[in-house]
A and B are shown apart, each in its own frame.
Chain A
Amino acid sequence: MKGLFYKDILMLTRSFKAYLLMALFFIVLGTIRPNNSFWAIYGSFFFVTLISSLMAIDEQSRWLSYCDIMPLRRRDIINERYLLTLILTAVLNVLFLILSMIFRSADRATVLVSSGMMLALSMLASAISLPINVKFGTAKGQMVRMAVIIVMVGCGMFIINYAGEIIEKLLQVKAPVLLAGAAAAIILVFGLSWLLSIRIYEKKNL
């Protein structure tokens, strides 16, 4: 699997240099603007979409079917993609925390909440997009992903409109429990997505 990591890091630095710099720019922007971590979260989210772009390049060059001739299990290919997502997300998060400490533009609580949001959104976005890309390919996957995101945003709006007050009250009383529950749910969704991708890819005809 070492070779797969090496290949993807090489491709990221070779083909997506501009995108990487943009993601870093957003992170920096999020840390220097007082109490405004939107850009950092956006940067993290943006960074995760690079994984989809990597998959698109692999499809184009037919690298994945070439991998089938090598001593790799199909799950190794998926494992590498999910691990890479986690590593990239963690690296960005650490960078965000370090920059936040240097610039001191927000209080510690805000920085930690932003960091948590970055992790949560990156993991959730990956959990949705990776199995869709594996199943449908990145071109068709784009459409499916959009449809899923629209449905999710719709559900979110519905919950905020109809249960927003209840959630707010619960957050005031039991914030740690709710946050821990949300974190556990995101980890569970990410894990299930990982297993689903393996299952899809192992059955796929390349």
Chain B
Amino acid sequence: MSAIEIRNINKSYPGFELKDLNLDLPEGTIMGLVGENGAGKSTTMKLLLGMIRPDSGSINVLGETDLRARPQIKEEIGVVMEDVSFPTVLKIHEIGRIMAGIYRNWDADEFARMVKVLRIPEDKKFFEMSRGNRMKTGFACALAHHPRLLLLDEATSGLDPVVRDELLDILMDFTKDETHSILMSSHIVSDLEKACDYVCFLHDGRVLLVEEKDRIRELYGKLQVTPEQFKELDPAAVIGRRTTPYGTEVIVRKDRIPAWDTQPVDIEELFVFMVKGERQ
């Protein structure tokens, strides 16, 4: 069963278009959305939350198709956006009390536990907190109402590696329950590489690739070739290439060139090569 089903979604703004987006997030898994600025990651998140309406297509989140009309399903969705926006003069325990008045499932003990685990300062007002602590506050709020689905939009951006690592551990812990799922977008591909089961590449409002993370290593490889060797390659196997003074680096589909010995490729390299390949 899928926690999220997106079918043929189109949404256009002046200067931007999300085209025929199709996506499935199986329950119990973490999917990473990778894309440049303006690729459509935040638009996808907003569409999922009903914050904006699609021009066409359908969206199903935890069995609900219209989140704006029936936002009650958001009781089961935890969200952390790039900016966590609480009134700045509030302290963490006041934020907790506000949330308790908004979420029926709010668990004050779980919130207090998260505040302790994440070491969020209890004596500071929100505007006095560092970006890291603000994001941690967002995570504590997103998790304290026991959601089944987490939507994270650049939620780890701008955080130091130690904080990011702590948060990723919490996320992986969250998906130990097989009914829990996460869709997270990030520029930091190493985070997605660490946490995700699936990756989705978005470029210019289109899906370039949706694949299981482990399958990416099976399917794609990297080659260092001379210009002559490059000409011998099946063009259909070439995902992208980069020419340096020392030769040409090529990302290929391994199944199309079985005779060649390839090196493993990571998600970031594959994404960069695919995007550049698109541009060429």
Contact = CB atoms under 8 A, between A and B. Distances in A.
Interface in B90-131: 90, 94, 97-104
A14 B95 CA distance: 14
A3 B98 contact: yes
Number of contact residues on A: which range applies? 20 to 34
B101 A69 contact: no
A3 B87 contact: no
A70 B142 CA distance: 10
B97 A70 contact: no
Q: Taking chain A's interface residues, is the majority helix, strand, or loop, or is none over half, making it mixed?
A: helix
B103 A61 contact: no
Given A3-B100, A70-B74, A58 B87 contact: yes
Contacts of B72: 71
Contact of A63 (B74, B86, B94): B86
Contacts of B100: 3
Nearest to A205: B52
B89 interface: yes
Which of B50, B75, B85 is most buried by chain A, counting CB atoms within 10 A of its CB?
B85
A61 B87 contact: yes
Q: Taking chain B's interface residues, is the majority helix, strand, or loop, or is none over half, making it mixed?
A: loop
B85 A2 contact: no
A23 to B, nearest CB: 20
B148 to A, nearest CB: 13
Contact of A66 (B74, B75, B85, B88): B85
B238 interface: no
Interface stretch (B76-84, B184-192, B260-268): B76-84
A66 B71 contact: no
Nearest to A2: B101
Interface in B27-84: 49-52, 68, 71-75, 77, 79, 81, 83-84
A6 interface: yes
Contacts of B50: 68
B71 A63 contact: no
Contacts of B94: 10
A69 B81 contact: yes
A61 B95 CA distance: 14
Contact of A206 (B51, B73, B88): B51
Interface in A1-35: 1-7, 10-11, 14-15
Nearest to A62: B85
10 closest A-B pairs (Cβ-Cβ)? Answer: A3-B101, A2-B101, A3-B102, A62-B85, A69-B79, A71-B74, A66-B85, A3-B98, A7-B98, A68-B51
Interface of A: 1-7, 10-11, 14-15, 57-58, 61-63, 65-66, 68-74, 205-206
